[in-house]
Structure 1
Amino acid sequence: MTTDLLERARHGDGQAFRELTDPYRHELHVHCYRMLGSLTDAEDMLQETLLAAWRGLAGFAGRASLRAWLYRIATNRCLNALRDAGRRRPPEPTPSFDPPEPTHRGDVTWLQPYPDRLLEQIAESTPGPEAGYHARETIELAFIAGLQHLPPRQAAVLVLRDVLGYSTADVADMLGTTPTVVKGALQRARAHLDRERRDRNPECLALPESPRERELSRRFADAFIAGDVDGILTLLTGDAWLAMPPAPHEYHGRAAVASMVTTFLTWRGRRGVRLIPTRANTQPAFGCYLTAPGETSGYPAGLLVLTVGQHRIRGITWFLHDDVPPRFALPDTTR
């Protein structure tokens, strides 16, 4: 950041402002996504952050870096949104078929997938020495969902401290509180996420785009397209689960997953399935399309994201949001 560029931006030069902030745009988007769990809300908060930065640039004293100043604005905008509106829940979709009784009802129904193609636009940066998580883990669906179970300020402290590596003093300054408060919030947030971390054991996941991950993903796609329930079950761990946001339905265990998949296949009838591979949250994913008998066009039926372990698939998240295809550069229809 040059003094000349900053002064030009302060005097209303929009191009200078974009040159100042564009290097941080994508990572701020991911930050808002971590805080909110929703790609739609993250996009709104990113725009609010940049607008607030534009309007408040005259007050940027330069004591902290521009990056830290932008993170301060983004974090507090997210906290304001959560405080003012409460956790906004999307309407529960009306299924086209009668699903079996779920074994669980999820409470993070606003969770949305994050396209890997957007992650690739983030410049490589080294987090501060306080960072306590691997970069991949901090964008996986399980981690994002875990953050949503924390009180918002605890989530903010943990992300700023353990994901981005800001010091306790820096985080206290960003949130307008004291280091003592930050330490207490961080201790509680870590204890909660550590329990979830042990349960999901991220070390047991297959490496992204490894031969094992590719093999299990391919075999799953083949079985799903063929309607081979037994073939799908052989690929799952005994405690595998299937979740379907924004519906709260969750199915835990092979028998429950088999019941849901069988119900879907029965409802599908003679219609075909096409799966287009993509990636979400560093995990293998497939855009799902249904084709009517005798037709060549397929119409979107959600996005399947796989949580792949070292030996079997541990989870399936079937996102039913209508706006998935354009976000993942997937076609509206297939031919």
Structure 2
Amino acid sequence: MDRSVLDRARRGDPEAFRDLARPHERELLVHCYRLLGSLTDAEDVLQETLLAAWRGLDGFEERASVRTWLYRIATNRCLNARRDQARRRPVEPVPPFAPPAPTRHGEITWLQPLPDALLDGMPGPEARYELQESVALAFVVALQRMPARQAATLILRDVLGYPAGEVAAMLGTTETAVKGVLQRARAAVPAERCEPPATAEPVARRFAEAFTRGDVDAVVALLTDDVWLSMPPAPHEYVGRAAVRSFLAVSLAHAAGRLTLVPVGANGQPAFAADLGGPAGVIVLTVRGGGISAIARFHDPSVPARFS
């Protein structure tokens, strides 16, 4: 840390504060995304974090690095945001066709994809996870289902590699409590990991070709038996080949001849920006064991703009 920059920031120089914070903004945004599952919410909380840090700079005691201090502020702002459920419930879209009855209704309707471009040049996790694994949709969904402090503990320890003592200080708890919470959080994380992009890409390419020509049978042939399809912010989820087939038969018939898919990168997984004569969301695929085990179709038409 450049001492002169810190001193100038404390004297009220906003440019000096930006120099302090800028190297950490991208990773803080991804940190907030992991905790909140929504890039929109993560961007809001990042701005709250930077404002709180600017206003509280006199209270920075330099017992830890600027990076750790910012992570502490961001983590606690995310915990506050997770308590405010109202801000995390988007309006459910109305489908332009009559879908079949869903297998179940999902609760994590605020989920959004993370553009891979935001990961470029970012330092990787320092503990149990690779960068791709630490932003994979299944991992992010698991974090949303955990109690907020469990999720924060898991990220700080197993993704960012902070020692238990520093995590305890960030969360205002004890090392013993951190160890207990971490054990429960680890048990809630899916053990099976996504295939790397290079391995998943051929399957994704065949999916896109079949999907755009409306070939339901060819799409279903690429799916695992336990595949699930979700459509945030709609709560409908379809589980198993038969259920997914029934949905695709209706949705692809509605899109016949009008749908195009453009490859993009999201959450370290194969993804496509959909167009139906206008932006129609983003589709993210989870590939495991040579087949597609999950399809997340994000219906918010504003999402594709993040990938342009």
Partner of 1:314: 293
Deviation at residue 88 of structure 1 after TM alignment: 2.4
Deviation string 1:180-208 (CA, Å, 9 cap, x unpaired) is 22122112212222xxx13xx11xx3222
Is the Cα–Cα contact under 8 Å of residues 147 and 155 in structure 1 kept in the other structure? yes
Deviation string 1:204-224 (CA, Å, 9 cap, x unpaired) is x3222x1x4221111111101
Q: Does residue 250 of structure 1 match 2:250?
A: no
State how many pairs are aligned. Answer: 308
Partner of 1:207: 196
Is the Cα–Cα contact under 8 Å of residues 125 and 159 in structure 2 kept in the other structure? no
Residue identity opposite 2:250 in structure 1: T
**Structure 2 residue corresponding to 1:163, chosen from 142, 159, 164:** 159
* 1:55-134 correspondence to structure 2 within 5 Å: 55-85=55-85, 88-122=88-122, 124=123, 127=126, 131-134=127-130
Partner of 1:324: 303
Deviation at residue 310 of structure 1 after TM alignment: 3.5
Residue identity opposite 1:176 in structure 2: G
Residue identity opposite 1:170 in structure 2: E
Is the Cα–Cα contact under 8 Å of residues 279 and 302 in structure 2 kept in the other structure? no
TM-score (norm 1): 0.89
- Unaligned runs of 5+ residues in structure 2 are none
**Root mean square deviation, CA, Å:** 1.4
SS in 1 for 2:88: coil
4+ aligned runs moved over 3 Å, structure 1: 84-87
Partner of 1:278: 264
Change (3 A) 1:125 1:314: closer
Partner of 1:148: 144
Q: Aligned partners of 1:105, 1:253: CA distance in 2, in Å? A: 14
Partner of 1:295: none
SS in 1 for 2:23: helix
SS in 2 for 1:316: strand
Deviation string 1:144-181 (CA, Å, 9 cap, x unpaired) is 00000011111111111111111111011111111122
Is the Cα–Cα contact under 8 Å of residues 274 and 281 in structure 2 kept in the other structure? yes
**Structure 2 residue corresponding to 1:191, chosen from 169, 174, 187:** 187
Q: Aligned partners of 2:219, 2:96: CA distance in 1, in Å? A: 22
Is the Cα–Cα contact under 8 Å of residues 37 and 111 in structure 1 kept in the other structure? yes
Moved more, 153-162 or 180-189: 180-189
Residue identity opposite 1:251 in structure 2: Y
Q: Matched residues, percent identical?
A: 57
Is the Cα–Cα contact under 8 Å of residues 26 and 121 in structure 1 kept in the other structure? no
Is the Cα–Cα contact under 8 Å of residues 240 and 315 in structure 1 kept in the other structure? yes
Q: Aligned partners of 1:299, 1:41: CA distance in 2, in Å? A: 25
Is the Cα–Cα contact under 8 Å of residues 286 and 295 in structure 2 kept in the other structure? yes
Q: Aligned partners of 2:246, 2:208: CA distance in 1, in Å? A: 18
Deviation string 1:249-300 (CA, Å, 9 cap, x unpaired) is 111111111110101123235x42111110100011111111xxxxxxx211
Deviation at residue 24 of structure 1 after TM alignment: 0.3
Is the Cα–Cα contact under 8 Å of residues 232 and 297 in structure 2 kept in the other structure? yes
Deviation string 1:289-325 (CA, Å, 9 cap, x unpaired) is 11xxxxxxx2112111111124221111100012112
Residue identity opposite 1:137 in structure 2: E
Q: Aligned partners of 1:126, 1:90: CA distance in 2, in Å? A: 30
Is the Cα–Cα contact under 8 Å of residues 124 and 130 in structure 2 kept in the other structure? no
Q: Aligned partners of 1:85, 1:283: CA distance in 2, in Å? A: 28
Moved more, 77-86 or 8-17: 77-86
Residue identity opposite 2:195 in structure 1: A
Deviation at residue 328 of structure 1 after TM alignment: 1.0
TM-score (norm 2): 0.96
Q: Aligned partners of 1:44, 1:101: CA distance in 2, in Å? A: 35
Q: Aligned partners of 2:21, 2:156: CA distance in 1, in Å? A: 19
